[in-house]
């Protein structure tokens, strides 16, 4: 089964299931892609709580639920900080959520009163306080996310849809889960450049990294943005680019302001970006390598359940699971046949684990780690198809499931849908 070029460009070279896809489109509206975060203690961030919680407890952090619609996490945190008149470093989150969606997640704010937060509702963003705590929100507190998704514009009969969905569900059961690939959001669907940028930073090619971030155009992005990037790509005139780049390209404009004054200080320009964003570039390249490692394992028909000598494992819910490296300066490759795959790919990329120690910008160095090869699909619910209310003569279907932290709903959906064009399918 042919894998789209956009998937291959982020290292996803295979489908794990052989069932026919139903096609269709996600995210026609942000409300079609609902995400509610679940913490390890079982508490869920609700988009529409039945009863507003009474804030209780004591502690230095105020835990709140952030509900956002069609909004990037980093921009949301910055907007909240600005509205509250505080440094964004006082705000902590457990995990990054989809931008093109309606999402609810926990955040903590240091030294904040509930009455101040309750006024923070604006531009598709609202906060409501939950409790006080002596522990800030961080990734170790996160269990996962519950998804409720509508697939629209399906050009199949209801019988075909259910048959194909069940075939894919059964394939997941046989596999023991879904391959734990990193999804398009990790790389940017419209401009899949974050991993390319991360690689150049690792190699110390700061000028090339800057050029990719600012000027590498994509045929899928807004025409005004694309034209501005193309012009900068051709002439490297940062002052002119600052005049041409639209205001919505906030991060690019921050870098351009610096380069217009200091055209050769590319490291300084990257320092104008939030630390978390810079870290994402490195993490995206780690994710790309992981996707390639896992793709090659599947292509070579090596098992995903269980593990062989020399392969890494993680203990999840008292079970030992196959794990694949997220390469970093403390994380080496596997040994055995899986190690041969990883070493072969690293050689082709011209990268070694010590490159992830970035002396010019230590804060974005990455020690690496391990990630399970499979992710469980928890409480999958598939409703019966109905007529699509916005696409005449087409069907739509609702499904819901829960994934553990770090796993991507779009990886599940691509197996059900098998889209020929991830962009057109809403990925």
Residues classed as catalytic: 98
Q: H or E element: which one contains 307?
A: none
Task: Give yes or no for a contact between 311 and 338, defined as CB atoms under 8 angstroms apart.
Answer: yes
Cβ-based neighbours of 174, under 8 Å, separated by 6 or more: none
Let me know: does 145 contact 38? Beta carbons within 8 Å. Answer: yes
DSSP label at 67?
Answer: E
Q: In degrees, to the nearest 5, what angle opens at C-alpha 359 toward C-alphas 358 and 360?
A: 95
E strand or H helix at 31: none
Instruction: Supply 301's token pair.
Output: 């028909």
> In which element (H, E) is residue 36 found?
strand 33-39
3-state secondary structure of 158: helix
d(C-alpha 420, C-alpha 269), whole Å: 38
Helix (H, G, I), strand (E, B) or coil at 61: strand
């Amino acid at each position: 089964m042919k894998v789209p070029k956009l998937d291959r460009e982020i290292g996803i070279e295979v489908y794990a299931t052989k069932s026919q896809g139903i096609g269709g489109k996600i995210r026609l509206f942000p409300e079609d892609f609902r995400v509610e975060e679940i913490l390890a203690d079982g508490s869920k961030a609700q988009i529409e709580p039945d009863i507003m919680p009474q804030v209780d407890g004591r502690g230095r952090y105020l835990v709140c639920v952030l509900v956002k619609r069609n909004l990037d996490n980093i921009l949301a945190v910055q907007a909240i900080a600005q509205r509250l008149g505080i440094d964004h470093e006082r705000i902590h989150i457990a995990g990054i959520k989809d931008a093109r969606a309606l999402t609810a997640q926990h955040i903590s704010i240091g030294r904040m009163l509930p009455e101040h937060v309750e006024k923070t509702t604006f531009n598709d963003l609202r906060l409501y306080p939950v409790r006080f705590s002596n522990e800030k929100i961080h990734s170790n507190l996160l269990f996962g996310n519950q998804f409720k998704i509508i697939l629209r514009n399906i050009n199949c009969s209801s019988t075909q849809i259910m048959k194909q969905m069940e075939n894919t569900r059964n394939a997941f059961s046989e596999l023991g889960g879904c391959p734990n690939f990193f999804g398009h959001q990790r790389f940017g669907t419209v401009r899949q450049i974050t991993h390319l940028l991360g690689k150049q930073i690792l190699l110390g090619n700061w000028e090339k990294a800057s050029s990719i971030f600012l000027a590498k155009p994509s045929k899928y992005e807004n025409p005004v943005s694309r034209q501005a990037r193309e012009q900068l790509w051709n002439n490297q005139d940062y002052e002119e680019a600052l005049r041409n780049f639209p205001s919505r390209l906030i991060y690019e404009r921050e870098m351009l302001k610096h380069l217009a004054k200091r055209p050769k200080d590319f490291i300084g320009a990257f320092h104008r970006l939030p630390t978390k964003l810079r870290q994402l570039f490195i993490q995206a390249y780690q994710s790309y390598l992981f996707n390639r490692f896992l793709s090659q394992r599947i292509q070579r028909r090596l098992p995903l359940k269980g593990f062989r000598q020399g392969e890494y494992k993680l203990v999840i819910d008292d079970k030992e699971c196959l794990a694949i490296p997220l390469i970093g300066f403390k994380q080496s490759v596997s040994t055995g046949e899986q190690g041969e795959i990883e070493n072969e790919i690293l050689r082709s990329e011209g990268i070694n684990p010590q490159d992830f120690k970035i002396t010019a910008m230590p804060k974005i160095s990455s020690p690496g780690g391990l990630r399970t090869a499979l992710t469980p699909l928890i409480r999958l619910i598939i409703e019966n198809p109905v007529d699509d209310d916005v696409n005449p003569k087409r069907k739509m279907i609702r499904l819901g499931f829960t994934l553990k932290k770090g796993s991507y709903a779009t990886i599940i959906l691509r197996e059900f849908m098998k889209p020929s064009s991830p962009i057109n399918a809403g990925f």
